[in-house]
């Protein structure tokens, strides 16, 4: 071997490491000859004078690329042992097997120079303390990295050329497969097609990826396995949010062939390791985009609408999406004092309050206020529905006609430019076709002119397509009129969900602001419309639930005047006949009348008629407790009736009073004088004699 004289006894006294590496597992499985040659380097080390016990093989990096040492544990172990001075020589089939990176190989060479470690490959022995060996090894390292660059450039150029023709085959998402002719078609499995189509249908209905996940609860979604033992097989599992986004963002489902959607970049993490990260590329930077390349599940316009909807749902970019809950202005209401957003704080059920978010952050301004959602949402909804008057609808329809005309004019200009470019290209083609092939001087000039006209035609087509994509489609006039006429009924329909009302609201109203208002009993609301105009309105704040509303004076005066002589039921009927309402705006009931009596001290009419007394009055006249009277009533010894107020009334006559006093006089419990203080002399009757039990045994 070239340079064998550089090996000394000092090198042989240390360990010889044989480093094995192949870039991929496919190479390990199929290129077995290269693997066998690398393992044979252990015999080469023995032939160079190392004892077999001093030769170690490091093969942990088989199947790993040598572009970086971050993921190669075997190379890191080799570097550690070289730095410790334990290694006399490192053997590899060639230098590029050690590392494809100049930085990694230069670090190994520097450590080998400092520790006196030799590097050995099939070309010879390198002593890094020798300048010539160091120079040759550096050139080999540079050539190895250049070889990688050249091979990668060739492969990428070939892939791009095939992709530009739409012929570069790549793994297809579930729902799309290659047929026998290599063409992309929809999956022949009807269940798979239905599952993919339902994802787009559920997103159109729910408007969010999480809504699709909820719609697929308890339902499986297909997934095609690529690589490994399950390669090509169809597996079913739960649909996750990440999978929904993958389906919705994939242009292949729109029938488009795309190459260059993602790019890989090198990045350094916190630990200092070089990592390869994958990032998405904006659509304008895609290298290849071929529309209508194969059958899809949605059109390209629908795909763009889905993409815009997902971007509008991304709250990290400042979007205020429609969320769950009954708060109508959620996401579009702001505080007029600090300028921050206001959030809906739910208190159970549909009751909620709008609160300034600055209160949570501790940055509340003196003018920051909150308000009940029911009060503000009701006012905003009334303004929205009131704006849809016949006059306003007519103005909106006129504006729609004007916008439609602008769209047509903008599109017409691009269409005329395309027509001119197509005419010029056809004319240049005819001129080129008429020239004699032998006249190459003229043919070359006409060919160049034709190519220039074709390039201009492609630019005109692209300009027309961009103009059409930039102008969103408008509904026809009849649809706008029907929607405007039926909007109030649609708004109040029980089938309309809060989410639907929020979407309807946001089609006309851009945002709502709770403006500062000195009067704490009032609230000032600012409404900004999408048309650019703004309105303000002032509403009454709802009273706190713990403070009752003040009864209007006419109703209170009527109750004060008729209360001493009229019952509560009669007052309720009288107040209803006069059209009086409570302070909360509700009709009077018995409880409301009772509350007014209590507040104003209005006595109730006596329920006792002439010749009757109450239980309390009877007990006072008899000199006993009311409980005695209630006992007589319960046992039927005293007749009573119940009044309209459910109170007991006792018909009271001298005979009734005499009977009651006689009961009291004869009662030993009520009259102590009637109690017996000596035992009875007369024997008890046999039924009252105590019975003695017969003896059961001898005494």
From residue 60, how far is each of 75, 76, 656 by CA, in Å? 9, 11, 115
Q: Please report the DSSP string for 504-558 in residue order.
A: HHHHHEEEEEEE--S-TTEEEEEEEETTS-EEEEEEEPPPPTTSPPPPPHHHHHH
Task: For residue 177, give the 3-state DSSP assignment.
Answer: strand
Q: Please report the DSSP string for 608-668 in residue order.
A: --TTEEEHHHHHHHHTS-HHHHHHHHHTTSS--EE-TTS-EEEE--HHHHHHHHHHHHH-T
Spatial separation of the C-alpha atoms in residues 412 and 191, rounded to whole Å:
44
Instruction: Write down the catalytic residue from 23, 68, 96, 337.
Output: 23
Task: For residue 315, give the 3-state DSSP assignment.
Answer: helix
End-to-end CA separation in angstroms for the chain: 131
Residue 541 — left, alpha, or beta (φ > 0 → left; ψ -120 to 50 → alpha)? Answer: beta
Spatial separation of the C-alpha atoms in residues 345 and 173, rounded to whole Å:
42
Q: Please report the DSSP string for 455-467 in residue order.
A: HHHHHHHHHHHHH
DSSP bridge partners of 525: 514, 537
> How many Cα atoms occupy the beta-carbon half-sphere of 440 within 13 Å?
0
Task: For residue 62, give the 3-state DSSP assignment.
Answer: strand
In this structure, are residues 342 and 371 in contact, taking their beta carbons and an 8 Å threshold? no
Spatial separation of the C-alpha atoms in residues 479 and 616, rounded to whole Å:
76
In this structure, are residues 7 and 114 in contact, taking their beta carbons and an 8 Å threshold? no
In this structure, are residues 583 and 543 in contact, taking their beta carbons and an 8 Å threshold? no
Beta strands 176-178 and 184-186 are antiparallel
User: Looking up tokens 């039926």, which residue turns up?
Assistant: 486
In this structure, are residues 527 and 509 in contact, taking their beta carbons and an 8 Å threshold? yes
Buried b (16+ CB within 10 A) or exposed e, 658-672: eebeebbeeeeeeee
Q: For the chain, give the number of residues.
A: 699
Spatial separation of the C-alpha atoms in residues 61 and 93, rounded to whole Å:
14
Spatial separation of the C-alpha atoms in residues 461 and 465, rounded to whole Å:
6
In this structure, are residues 558 and 578 in contact, taking their beta carbons and an 8 Å threshold? yes
Spatial separation of the C-alpha atoms in residues 578 and 558, rounded to whole Å:
10
Spatial separation of the C-alpha atoms in residues 328 and 322, rounded to whole Å:
9
User: Looking up tokens 């004078």, which residue turns up?
Assistant: 49
Q: Which two tokens stand for residue 134?
A: 């160091």
In this structure, are residues 607 and 643 in contact, taking their beta carbons and an 8 Å threshold? yes
- In the 3-class helix/strand/coil scheme, how is 93-146 assigned residue by residue? CCHHHHCCCHHHHHHHHHHHHHHCCEEEECCEEEECCCHHHHHHHHHHHHHHHH
Catalytic residue status for 606: no
- Please list the active-site residues: 23
């Amino acid at each position: 071997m070239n340079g064998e004289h550089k090996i000394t006894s000092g090198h042989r006294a240390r360990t010889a490491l044989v480093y094995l590496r192949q870039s991929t597992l496919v190479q390990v499985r199929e290129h077995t000859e290269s693997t066998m040659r690398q393992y044979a380097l252990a015999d080469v080390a023995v032939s160079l004078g190392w004892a077999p016990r001093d030769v170690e093989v490091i093969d942990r990096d088989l199947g790993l690329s040598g572009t970086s040492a971050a993921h190669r544990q075997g190379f890191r172990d080799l570097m550690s042992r070289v730095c410790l001075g334990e290694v006399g020589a490192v053997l590899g089939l060639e230098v590029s097997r050690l590392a494809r990176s100049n930085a990694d190989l230069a670090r190994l060479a520097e450590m080998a120079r400092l520790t006196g470690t030799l590097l050995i490959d099939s070309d010879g022995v390198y002593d890094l303390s020798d300048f010539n060996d160091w120079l040759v090894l550096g050139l080999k390292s540079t050539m190895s990295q250049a070889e990688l660059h050249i091979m990668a450039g060739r492969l990428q150029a070939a892939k791009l050329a095939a992709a530009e023709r739409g012929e570069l085959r790549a793994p297809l998402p579930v729902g799309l497969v290659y047929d026998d002719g290599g063409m992309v078609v929809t999956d022949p499995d009807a269940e798979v097609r239905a599952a993919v189509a339902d994802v787009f249908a559920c997103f159109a209905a729910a408007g969010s990826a999480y809504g699709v996940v909820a719609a697929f609860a308890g339902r499986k979604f297909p997934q095609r396995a690529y690589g490994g033992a399950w390669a090509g097989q169809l597996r079913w599992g739960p649909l996750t949010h990440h999978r929904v986004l993958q389906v919705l963002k994939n242009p292949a489902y729109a029938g488009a062939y795309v190459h260059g959607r993602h790019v890989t970049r090198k990045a350094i993490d916190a630990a200092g390791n070089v990592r390869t990260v994958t990032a998405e590329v904006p659509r304008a930077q895609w290298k290849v985009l071929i529309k209508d390349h194969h059958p899809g599940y949605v059109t390209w316009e629908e795909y763009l609408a889905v993409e815009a909807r997902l971007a509008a749902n991304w709250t990290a970019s400042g979007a205020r999406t429609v969320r769950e809950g009954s708060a109508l202005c959620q996401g579009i209401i702001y505080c007029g004092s600090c300028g921050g957003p206001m959030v809906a704080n739910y208190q159970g059920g549909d009751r909620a309050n709008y609160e300034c978010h600055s209160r949570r952050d501790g940055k509340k301004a003196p003018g920051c206020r909150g308000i009940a959602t029911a009060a503000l949402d009701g006012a905003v909804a009334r303004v929205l529905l009131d704006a849809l008057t016949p006059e306003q609808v007519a103005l909106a329809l006129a504006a729609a006609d004007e916008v439609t005309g602008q769209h047509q004019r903008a599109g017409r200009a691009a269409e005329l430019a395309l027509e001119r470019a197509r005419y010029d290209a056809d004319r240049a083609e005819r001129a080129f076709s008429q020239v004699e092939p032998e006249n190459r001087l003229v043919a070359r000039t006409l060919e160049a002119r034709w190519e220039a006209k074709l390039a201009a035609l492609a630019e005109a087509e692209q300009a027309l397509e961009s103009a059409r994509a930039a102008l969103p489609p408008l509904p026809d006039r009849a649809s706008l009129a029907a929607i405007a006429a039926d909007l109030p009924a649609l708004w109040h329909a029980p089938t309309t969900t809060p989410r639907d009302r929020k979407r309807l609201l946001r089609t006309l109203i851009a945002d709502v602001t709770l403006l500062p208002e000195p009067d704490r009993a009032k609230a000032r609301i600012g409404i900004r419309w999408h048309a650019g105009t703004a309105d303000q309105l002032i509403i009454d704040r709802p009273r706190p639930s713990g403070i009752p509303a003040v009864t209007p004076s006419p109703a209170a005066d009527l109750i004060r005047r008729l209360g001493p002589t009229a019952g509560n039921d009669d007052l309720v009927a009288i107040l209803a006949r006069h059209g009086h309402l409570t302070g909360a705006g509700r009709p009077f009931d018995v409880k409301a009348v009772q509350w007014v009596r209590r507040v104003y001290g209005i006595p109730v009419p006596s329920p006792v008629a002439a010749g009757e007394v109450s239980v309390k009055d009877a007990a006072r006249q008899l000199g006993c407790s009311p409980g005695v009277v209630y006992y007589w009533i319960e046992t039927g010894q005293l007749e009573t009736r119940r009044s309209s107020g459910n109170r007991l009334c006792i018909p009271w006559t001298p005979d009734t009073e005499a009977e009651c006093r006689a009961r009291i006089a004869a009662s030993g419990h009520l009259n102590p004088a009637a109690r017996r203080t000596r035992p009875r002399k007369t024997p008890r009757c046999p039924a009252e004699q105590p019975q003695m039990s017969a003896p059961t045994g001898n005494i």
